[in-house]
């Protein structure tokens, strides 16, 4: 069979079109997964959703999986970014909102996985790998979340872990002195054994303004030391953020914390 020049041109055009369409499909299926975890300020316990920063159109394009233990949940499935059910009439929200929106505006395709438990200690409640505590439960939820994204046809690119926790480990000297080792072990296991990304960027934060943290600064020192020793880890201060009480950020403080987290991520990856 002889293929004439006109036919060759047509075949070339179709080939280029299909190649372009296939490339676009692959690009559309990429998703950037960010893991957020910690205690009440990650959850947004006193962040009243009546002050939720409006941008519904943008939020509808950001997948959101959340588990606030014994409080509110996305019921083991992905939803889209928005307030979570809480003790305020319109619910509550955490720093994920302004963080995720900034990622989207920076031309990423973010999906936010958030696991939190108010008042939780890394030693007593999270317990670390194999301890049958919050850490193991978070890993189980994370695997479910990733598998659901893959089943929807996404290629999941895990981009970072954000950890906001530590106030409950500042209750006494023993917990505070052990905090570094428990956090280090947990981060190592999650990055190396679960996600298989030992250099996954990590952002750490804890409320330095909390009275117990000021009494037991070993918790802050632990996070700063981890960041100092590892160039893929950074520490974000919460100093100066507006607070609702001695423990929790207001909605405005939570909004600002999300912006700080994005700035830290941007600096960390560059």
Helical H segments across the chain, by residue range: 5-28, 40-43, 56-59, 96-105, 134-151, 173-188, 211-215, 218-229, 251-269
Q: Cα 99 vs. chain centroid, distance in angstroms?
A: 9
* Structure confidence at residue 112 (pLDDT): 98
Question: What mean pLDDT, rounded, does the chain reach?
Answer: 91
* Structure confidence at residue 195 (pLDDT): 98
User: pLDDT for 103-120, tens place per residue?
Assistant: 999 999 999 999 999 999
| Residue carrying the six token digits 């100066």 | 240
More confident site: 55 or 43: 43
- CATH code, residues 27-269: 3.40.50.1110
Q: Which of 27-31, 37-41, 212-216 has the lowest mean pLDDT?
A: 27-31
> How distant, in Å, are the alpha carbons of 84, 161, 180, 256 from that of 99?
16, 12, 26, 9
pLDDT band at 185 (very low <50, low <70, confident <90, very high): very high
Which token pair is 166? Answer: 């530590």
pLDDT band at 225 (very low <50, low <70, confident <90, very high): very high
Domain locations in the chain? 27-269
More confident site: 20 or 258: 258
- Pairing verdict, β 202-206 and 72-73: unpaired
pLDDT at 14 over 60: no
- Give the integer Cα–Cα distance in Å for 141 and 259: 26
* Structure confidence at residue 55 (pLDDT): 77
Q: Cα 143 vs. chain centroid, distance in angstroms?
A: 14
| Residue carrying the six token digits 């929106």 | 101
pLDDT at 223 over 90: yes
pLDDT band at 9 (very low <50, low <70, confident <90, very high): low
Neighbours of 16 (CB within 10 A): 10
Please check whether residue 158 is in contact with residue 200, taking contact to mean a CB–CB distance below 8 angstroms: yes
**H/E element, 121:** none
* Structure confidence at residue 234 (pLDDT): 98
More confident site: 144 or 24: 144
pLDDT at 226 over 80: yes
More confident site: 25 or 121: 121
What is the rounded (10 degree) CA torsion for 150, 154, 158, 161?
Answer: -80
Percent of the chain with pLDDT over 70: 90
């Amino acid at each position: 069979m002889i293929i004439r020049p006109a036919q060759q041109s047509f075949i070339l055009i179709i080939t280029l079109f299909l190649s372009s369409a296939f490339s676009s499909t692959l690009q559309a299926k990429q998703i950037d997964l960010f893991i957020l975890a910690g205690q009440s300020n990650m959850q947004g316990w006193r962040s009243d959703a009546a002050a939720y920063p409006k941008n519904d159109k943008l939020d509808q394009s950001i997948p959101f999986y959340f588990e606030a233990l014994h409080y509110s949940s996305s019921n083991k499935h992905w939803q889209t970014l928005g307030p979570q059910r809480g003790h305020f009439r319109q619910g509550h929200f955490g720093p994920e909102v302004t963080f995720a929106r900034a990622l989207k505006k920076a031309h990423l395709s973010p999906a936010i996985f958030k696991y939190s438990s108010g008042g939780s200690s890394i030693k007593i409640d999270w317990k670390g790998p194999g301890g049958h505590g919050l850490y193991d439960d978070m890993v189980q939820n994370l695997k479910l979340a990733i598998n659901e994204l893959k089943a929807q046809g996404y290629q999941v690119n895990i981009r970072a872990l954000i950890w906001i926790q530590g106030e409950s480990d500042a209750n006494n000297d023993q917990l505070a002195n052990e905090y570094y080792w428990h956090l280090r072990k947990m981060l190592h296991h999650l990055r190396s054994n679960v996600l298989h990304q030992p250099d996954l960027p990590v952002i750490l934060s804890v409320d330095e303004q909390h009275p117990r943290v000021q009494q037991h600064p070993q918790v802050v020192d632990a996070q700063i030391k981890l960041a100092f020793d590892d160039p893929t880890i950074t520490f974000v201060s919460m100093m100066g953020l507006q607070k609702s009480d001695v423990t929790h950020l207001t909605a405005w403080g939570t909004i600002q914390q999300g912006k700080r987290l994005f700035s830290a991520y941007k600096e960390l990856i560059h």
